[in-house]
Amino acid sequence: MAGGGWGCPHESNDRCGKVNDLPCDPGMKGCVLAGRYRFANDDKNERLRQKAEQRREVTPPAADASPDEQQ
């Protein structure tokens, strides 16, 4: 990825060493950035949305009974 303000340790000569030596495209499937950051291209934010949904499903419900009722 030429001209960016950051450097990826997996990128070499505009190719991704982590994703089958494909052209570097930050946020593509398999990219270490996917699901961690929000991208301007909304198609790349699917993994981020999936992770947010999983967090909502895992959140435990509030306790229904007060301590006095648990005897």
**How many other CB atoms are found less than 10 A from the CB of residue 24?**
21
Amino acid at 62: A
Residue 61 lies in a domain: no
Residue range(s) defining the domain that contains residue 40: 9-52
pLDDT the model gives residue 4: 53
Kindly provide the residue ranges of all beta strands, DSSP E only, lying in 1-71, ordered along the sequence.
Answer: 11-12, 15-16, 22-23
Per-residue pLDDT of the chain (71 residues; tens, 9 = 90+): 455 566 788 888 999 999 999 998 888 888 888 778 888 888 888 888 888 888 888 776 666 655 555 55
pLDDT the model gives residue 21: 92
* Phi and psi torsions of 46, nearest 5°: -60, -45
Residue 3 lies in a domain: no
Number of structural domains in the chain: 1
pTM of the model: 0.51
Cα 10 to chain center, whole Å? 17
